[in-house]
Amino acid sequence: MNKITAHIAGDQISSNSKEAINLHASKRFGEKDKDKIVYTFCEALYLLEEDQLEILDLKDKKILKCLEENSRQSHNQIAKKAGLSKESVRYRIKQLEEKGIIQNYKVVVDIKKLDYRAYHLFVNLNKPDLEIEKEYLKKLISYPFVRAVIKFSGGYDFEIAMVAKNIDELERNLTQLFNGVDKYIKENELLIVVRTFVGRVFPKSFLEFEIEKKKKKIKEIKVDDKDIKILNVLKEDAVMPIYKIAEKTKLGVDSVTYRMKKLEDGEIIRNYIPAINYRAVGYQVYAILLRINSLYEDVEAKLKRYLIQDPNVLWAVKTIGNYNVMIYLAVDKPEDLHDTLNKIRRTFANRIKGYKTLIAYEEYKYTYFPELFLGE
């Protein structure tokens, strides 16, 4: 049996991992509190002694926050910011990777600067059918223009994040998505991303540990095929050493170093971040689709200020479509979801004309840099 990863919030030790739920079902360890298992101090101590439990502590959280800032920074840099030794940082990162808390590392690319736009398609199937679902997922994942495929329970069955340069390309992409499977689709909703309000790896509730970010002047740059090759490699592993990137791209080490710096200075590369298993750190991810009437500049600014400060928000964007705001949240208890939603409803009471809440069930694909950008 894999170890249970628990976390401490106040005086409570809890986990919503599959291992915790299975152990509770078979041996009644812990007390079920909605979607998580809460342990007494004695239970947690016993499981620790039996090597069945591991607790994500403050040191791990600080390291994760540093990796959110920039996953390519050195262990020495992280050690200074987190107040730890370099050896401790190296060991703890390795443990976080081996436990599956850090699943991999991603490069965040500004697709607008590569003349692409982001679209999110929400789909409902006619009826639950595992075989149909399996075939549909296989097709979705294979398309190069698809950035992400997420399964939900709630208002929609799937979210398909994709890119296109223009309306003609979008139409071709949608035709491919629906070709041969349209008879299984009950309804769909297409949203066009206009701009981002919030983008984080961890919600503010995870840890109030702020790292001062240096402001830099953004440079205008041109991207060529060699740059695309580098992005292609970073898409596979955003923390790959420079010399390995050079080997894979058949470019010199100095050339790779220069070009990565150029892409960073031009903010084509926005960041390098860890991909997190949110359940392993005690969070459930939800999506909220909002339809806000008259989302003018002043109302939008007010909404953005609120979302930036909300402790549960991971990612939020303005969209064009039947819903004009899309929000992702990570919460360690369902009440926090309701708190955020109720605060938004109270703050914008006369403007909210509709909303849907979705529970993220499984992520089948996620990348910031789809295959169609790759140059040869």
Q: Output the tens digit of pLDDT for each of the chain's 376 residues.
A: 578 888 776 677 888 777 888 888 888 888 888 778 888 888 888 888 888 888 888 899 999 999 999 999 999 999 999 999 999 999 999 999 988 899 999 999 999 999 999 999 999 988 777 888 888 888 899 999 999 999 998 889 999 999 999 999 999 999 999 888 878 888 999 999 999 999 999 999 888 766 666 667 778 888 999 999 999 999 889 999 999 999 999 999 999 999 999 999 999 999 999 999 998 888 899 999 999 999 999 999 999 999 999 999 999 999 999 999 999 999 988 889 999 999 999 998 889 999 999 999 899 998 887 776 655 4
Q: Domain range holding 123?
A: 113-203+278-366
**194 shares its domain with 328:** yes
Does residue 270 sit within a domain?
no
Residue type, 127: K
* pLDDT recorded at residue 192: 97
Domain boundary among 68, 83, 105: 105
Domain boundary among 105, 123, 150: 105
Determine phi and psi for 157, rounding to 5 degrees: -85, -40
Q: What Rg value do the Cα atoms of the chain yield, rounded?
A: 22
Closest alpha carbon to 270 in 197, 365, 199: 199
Domain boundary among 53, 84, 105: 105
**11 shares its domain with 140:** no
Pure H helices in the chain: 18-27, 41-49, 58-69, 75-82, 86-98, 130-142, 167-178, 225-236, 242-249, 253-265, 297-309, 334-347
Q: How far apart are CA 177 and CA 163, in angstroms?
A: 13
Pairing of strands 53-56, 4-9: parallel
**81 shares its domain with 118:** no
Q: What's the domain count of the chain?
A: 2
Q: Identify the bridge partners of residue 161 per DSSP, sorted by sequence position.
A: 120, 148
354 and 288 Cβ atoms separated by less than 8 Å: no
Q: Identify the bridge partners of residue 108 per DSSP, sorted by sequence position.
A: 271
* pLDDT recorded at residue 230: 94
354 exposed, middle or buried (CB, 10 Å; 0-12, 13-18, 19+)? exposed
276 and 104 Cβ atoms separated by less than 8 Å: no
**96 shares its domain with 166:** no
Does residue 318 sit within a domain?
yes
* pLDDT recorded at residue 220: 84
Write out the two tokens for 330: 């990570």
339 and 224 Cβ atoms separated by less than 8 Å: no
Torsion region of 30: left, alpha or beta (phi above 0 gives left; psi -120 to 50 gives alpha): left
* pLDDT recorded at residue 374: 59
Quote the Cα angle for 74-79-83, to 5°: 160
Please provide the distance, in angstroms rounded to a whole number, between the alpha carbons at the two ends of the chain: 45
* pLDDT recorded at residue 210: 64
